[in-house]
Protein backbone atom coordinates (compact mmCIF):
# COMPACT_ATOMS: atom_id res chain seq x y z
CA UNK A 1 0.00 0.00 0.00
CA UNK A 2 1.56 3.26 -1.12
CA UNK A 3 1.82 5.83 1.60
CA UNK A 4 2.89 6.13 5.21
CA UNK A 5 2.34 3.52 7.88
CA UNK A 6 2.43 4.47 11.54
CA UNK A 7 2.40 2.11 14.48
CA UNK A 8 0.94 1.70 16.96
CA UNK A 9 -2.44 3.29 16.24
CA UNK A 10 -2.86 4.13 19.89
CA UNK A 11 -1.00 3.51 23.12
CA UNK A 12 -1.41 4.14 26.82
CA UNK A 13 1.98 4.54 28.44
CA UNK A 14 3.08 4.90 32.04
CA UNK A 15 5.09 8.02 32.79
CA UNK A 16 8.80 7.38 32.80
CA UNK A 17 8.63 4.59 30.25
CA UNK A 18 10.48 4.61 26.96
CA UNK A 19 8.43 4.45 23.76
CA UNK A 20 9.22 4.37 20.05
CA UNK A 21 6.63 5.39 17.50
CA UNK A 22 7.24 3.81 14.14
CA UNK A 23 6.87 5.42 10.75
CA UNK A 24 7.53 3.79 7.38
CA UNK A 25 6.95 5.18 3.91
CA UNK A 26 7.16 3.42 0.56
CA UNK A 27 7.13 6.45 -1.74
CA UNK A 28 10.91 7.00 -1.66
CA UNK A 29 10.36 10.53 -0.40
CA UNK A 30 13.52 12.27 0.73
CA UNK A 31 12.04 14.35 3.54
CA UNK A 32 10.20 13.06 6.60
CA UNK A 33 8.66 14.82 9.57
CA UNK A 34 7.11 14.22 12.95
CA UNK A 35 4.33 16.49 14.17
CA UNK A 36 2.23 16.46 17.29
CA UNK A 37 -1.33 17.74 17.23
CA UNK A 38 -2.91 19.19 20.34
CA UNK A 39 -6.28 20.86 20.75
CA UNK A 40 -6.00 24.60 20.22
CA UNK A 41 -2.36 24.40 19.17
CA UNK A 42 -2.59 22.78 15.77
CA UNK A 43 0.21 20.72 14.30
CA UNK A 44 3.68 21.45 15.66
CA UNK A 45 6.89 20.12 14.19
CA UNK A 46 8.97 17.95 16.53
CA UNK A 47 11.83 16.72 14.32
CA UNK A 48 12.48 16.39 10.65
CA UNK A 49 14.86 14.71 8.24
CA UNK A 50 15.68 16.15 4.82
CA UNK A 51 17.37 12.97 3.67
CA UNK A 52 18.58 9.65 5.02
CA UNK A 53 21.37 10.13 7.54
CA UNK A 54 20.37 13.66 8.57
CA UNK A 55 17.93 14.98 11.14
CA UNK A 56 16.98 18.35 12.54
CA UNK A 57 15.02 19.88 15.38
CA UNK A 58 11.63 21.41 14.88
CA UNK A 59 9.56 23.67 17.06
CA UNK A 60 9.06 21.32 20.03
CA UNK A 61 11.95 18.80 20.09
CA UNK A 62 12.53 18.46 23.84
CA UNK A 63 11.96 14.96 25.17
CA UNK A 64 12.03 13.40 21.70
CA UNK A 65 14.70 11.91 19.48
CA UNK A 66 14.70 10.56 15.94
CA UNK A 67 16.94 8.62 13.61
CA UNK A 68 16.97 8.18 9.84
CA UNK A 69 19.07 5.16 9.03
CA UNK A 70 17.44 4.69 5.63
CA UNK A 71 14.98 6.44 3.32
CA UNK A 72 11.90 4.53 4.41
CA UNK A 73 11.96 4.59 8.22
CA UNK A 74 11.79 7.50 10.62
CA UNK A 75 11.13 6.36 14.20
CA UNK A 76 10.37 8.81 17.00
CA UNK A 77 11.53 7.91 20.51
CA UNK A 78 10.36 9.25 23.83
CA UNK A 79 13.17 8.40 26.21
CA UNK A 80 11.16 8.94 29.40
CA UNK A 81 7.54 9.81 28.74
CA UNK A 82 5.76 12.57 30.64
CA UNK A 83 2.03 13.40 30.72
CA UNK A 84 2.56 16.56 28.64
CA UNK A 85 3.53 14.27 25.77
CA UNK A 86 -0.03 13.03 25.58
CA UNK A 87 -0.98 13.92 22.03
CA UNK A 88 -1.71 12.65 18.56
CA UNK A 89 1.50 12.14 16.61
CA UNK A 90 1.62 12.37 12.84
CA UNK A 91 4.43 11.30 10.61
CA UNK A 92 4.63 12.93 7.18
CA UNK A 93 6.83 12.82 4.12
CA UNK A 94 7.43 14.93 1.05
CA UNK A 95 9.38 14.64 -2.15
CA UNK A 96 12.40 16.95 -1.85
CA UNK A 97 10.55 18.93 0.79
CA UNK A 98 8.43 20.84 -1.69
CA UNK A 99 4.72 20.79 -2.09
CA UNK A 100 2.05 18.77 -0.41
CA UNK A 101 3.01 16.48 2.41
CA UNK A 102 1.63 12.97 2.76
CA UNK A 103 0.56 12.15 6.30
CA UNK A 104 0.25 8.89 8.16
CA UNK A 105 -2.92 8.06 10.06
CA UNK A 106 -1.46 9.10 13.38
CA UNK A 107 -0.65 7.55 16.74
CA UNK A 108 -2.75 8.56 19.71
CA UNK A 109 -0.49 8.45 22.76
CA UNK A 110 -1.71 8.86 26.31
CA UNK A 111 0.88 9.15 29.07
CA UNK A 112 -0.49 8.49 32.54
CA UNK B 1 8.38 34.74 14.96
CA UNK B 2 6.72 33.03 12.01
CA UNK B 3 3.04 32.37 12.52
CA UNK B 4 -0.10 31.24 10.72
CA UNK B 5 -3.49 32.32 12.05
CA UNK B 6 -6.78 30.80 10.99
CA UNK B 7 -10.28 32.12 11.56
CA UNK B 8 -12.85 31.37 12.62
CA UNK B 9 -11.78 28.64 15.02
CA UNK B 10 -15.12 26.95 14.62
CA UNK B 11 -18.07 27.23 12.27
CA UNK B 12 -21.49 25.58 12.29
CA UNK B 13 -23.65 25.77 9.16
CA UNK B 14 -26.52 24.00 7.45
CA UNK B 15 -26.25 22.01 4.28
CA UNK B 16 -26.33 24.24 1.23
CA UNK B 17 -24.65 27.18 2.93
CA UNK B 18 -21.47 28.74 1.55
CA UNK B 19 -18.53 29.17 3.91
CA UNK B 20 -15.30 31.13 3.77
CA UNK B 21 -12.33 30.10 5.86
CA UNK B 22 -9.52 32.54 6.45
CA UNK B 23 -5.78 32.12 6.84
CA UNK B 24 -3.33 34.95 7.48
CA UNK B 25 0.40 34.54 7.87
CA UNK B 26 3.60 36.25 8.86
CA UNK B 27 6.40 34.08 7.57
CA UNK B 28 9.90 34.77 6.35
CA UNK B 29 11.07 33.18 3.11
CA UNK B 30 7.56 32.29 1.98
CA UNK B 31 7.39 29.62 -0.69
CA UNK B 32 3.80 28.35 -0.78
CA UNK B 33 0.56 28.09 1.18
CA UNK B 34 -1.27 24.81 1.50
CA UNK B 35 -4.75 23.79 2.61
CA UNK B 36 -5.54 20.42 4.13
CA UNK B 37 -8.75 18.72 5.20
CA UNK B 38 -8.63 16.57 8.31
CA UNK B 39 -11.51 14.27 9.09
CA UNK B 40 -10.94 11.49 11.55
CA UNK B 41 -7.28 10.85 11.01
CA UNK B 42 -4.63 12.05 8.60
CA UNK B 43 -4.81 15.48 6.97
CA UNK B 44 -5.38 15.17 3.25
CA UNK B 45 -4.02 17.66 0.76
CA UNK B 46 -6.44 20.08 -0.91
CA UNK B 47 -4.53 22.94 -2.55
CA UNK B 48 -1.11 24.45 -2.89
CA UNK B 49 -0.94 28.16 -3.73
CA UNK B 50 2.19 29.96 -4.78
CA UNK B 51 1.00 32.94 -6.82
CA UNK B 52 -1.28 35.81 -5.88
CA UNK B 53 -4.67 36.16 -7.46
CA UNK B 54 -4.83 32.77 -9.16
CA UNK B 55 -7.80 30.77 -7.95
CA UNK B 56 -7.47 27.04 -7.50
CA UNK B 57 -10.70 25.04 -7.78
CA UNK B 58 -11.71 21.50 -7.05
CA UNK B 59 -15.42 20.87 -7.30
CA UNK B 60 -17.18 22.99 -4.70
CA UNK B 61 -13.91 24.06 -3.09
CA UNK B 62 -11.82 26.97 -4.21
CA UNK B 63 -8.93 28.93 -2.77
CA UNK B 64 -6.97 32.06 -3.53
CA UNK B 65 -3.84 33.68 -2.18
CA UNK B 66 -3.00 37.35 -1.64
CA UNK B 67 0.75 37.67 -1.12
CA UNK B 68 0.57 41.41 -0.65
CA UNK B 69 -1.91 41.27 2.22
CA UNK B 70 -0.53 37.91 3.41
CA UNK B 71 -3.69 35.87 3.52
CA UNK B 72 -5.61 33.13 1.80
CA UNK B 73 -9.24 32.09 1.80
CA UNK B 74 -10.84 28.71 1.26
CA UNK B 75 -14.41 28.79 -0.04
CA UNK B 76 -16.82 25.90 0.07
CA UNK B 77 -20.09 26.35 -1.79
CA UNK B 78 -23.27 24.30 -1.32
CA UNK B 79 -21.83 22.61 1.75
CA UNK B 80 -22.62 18.98 2.50
CA UNK B 81 -22.38 16.99 5.73
CA UNK B 82 -19.31 15.29 4.26
CA UNK B 83 -17.53 18.64 4.35
CA UNK B 84 -17.51 18.47 8.15
CA UNK B 85 -13.85 18.41 9.15
CA UNK B 86 -10.98 20.47 10.45
CA UNK B 87 -9.46 22.60 7.71
CA UNK B 88 -5.77 23.30 8.16
CA UNK B 89 -3.76 26.05 6.55
CA UNK B 90 0.01 25.68 6.37
CA UNK B 91 2.77 27.86 4.99
CA UNK B 92 5.90 26.41 3.49
CA UNK B 93 9.14 28.34 3.78
CA UNK B 94 12.21 28.10 1.60
CA UNK B 95 13.72 26.06 4.42
CA UNK B 96 10.96 23.55 3.47
CA UNK B 97 9.30 23.24 6.86
CA UNK B 98 5.56 23.64 7.07
CA UNK B 99 4.08 25.92 9.72
CA UNK B 100 0.48 25.08 10.48
CA UNK B 101 -2.34 27.20 11.76
CA UNK B 102 -4.56 25.85 14.52
CA UNK B 103 -7.29 24.93 12.06
CA UNK B 104 -10.96 25.76 11.55
CA UNK B 105 -13.47 23.16 12.69
CA UNK B 106 -16.40 23.11 10.27
CA UNK B 107 -19.60 21.31 11.17
CA UNK B 108 -22.30 20.97 8.53
CA UNK B 109 -25.73 19.88 9.72
CA UNK B 110 -28.53 18.52 7.52
Q: What pLDDT digit, counting tens, does each position of B42-76 carry?
A: 899 999 999 888 899 999 999 999 999 999 999 99
In a domain, A109, yes or no: no
A38: in domain: yes
Q: How confident is the model at residue A93 (pLDDT cuts 50, 70, 90)?
A: very high
Q: B42 vs A105: CB contact, 8 Å cut-off? A: yes
In a domain, A84, yes or no: yes
Q: Which of B42, B98, B99 sits opposite A104 (nearest CB)?
A: B42
**Average pLDDT of span B19-29:** 94
A82 occurs within a structural domain: yes
Residue B100 contacts residue B4 (beta carbons within 8 Å):
yes
Q: Is residue A108 part of a domain?
A: no
pLDDT score for A1 = 58
| Rounded Cα gap, residues A49 and B73, in angstroms | 30
Cα separation, B61 vs B83, in Å, equals: 10
How many separate domains does chain A show? 1
Q: How many residues does chain A have?
A: 112
Domains of chain B, each with CATH number or no CATH = 3-109 (2.60.40.10)
Domain residue limits at A30: 4-98
A62 touches chain B (CB under 8 A): no
What's the pLDDT score for residue B2?
Answer: 86
Say whether B96 and A42 touch across the interface (CB within 8 A): no
pLDDT at B51: 87
Examine residue A24 and state whether it is found in any structural domain, yes or no. Answer: yes
Among A42, A45, A102, the residue with its CB nearest the CB of B97 is A45
A94: in domain: yes
Give the DSSP letter string of B11-72. Answer: EEEETT--EEEEEEEE-TTEEEEEEEEESSSSEEEEEEE-STT--EEETTEEEEEETTTTEE
pLDDT category, B6, cuts 50, 70, 90? very high
Query: A58: nearest CA in chain B?
Result: B97
| CATH for A92 | 2.60.40.10
Averaged pLDDT score across all residues of chain A:
93
Cβ–Cβ gap A99/B32 under 8 Å: yes
What pLDDT score does A96 carry?
Answer: 61
Q: In percent, how much of chain A has pLDDT > 90?
A: 85
In a domain, A110, yes or no: no
> Cα–Cα distance between B84 and B37 in angstroms, integer?
9
Amino acid sequence: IAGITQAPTSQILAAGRRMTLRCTQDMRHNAMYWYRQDLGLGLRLIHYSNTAGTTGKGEVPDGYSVSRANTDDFPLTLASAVPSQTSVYFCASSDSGYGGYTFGSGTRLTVV
Amino acid sequence: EDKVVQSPLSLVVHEGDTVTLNCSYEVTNFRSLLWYKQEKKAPTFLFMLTSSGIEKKSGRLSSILDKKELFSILNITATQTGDSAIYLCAVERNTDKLIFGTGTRLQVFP
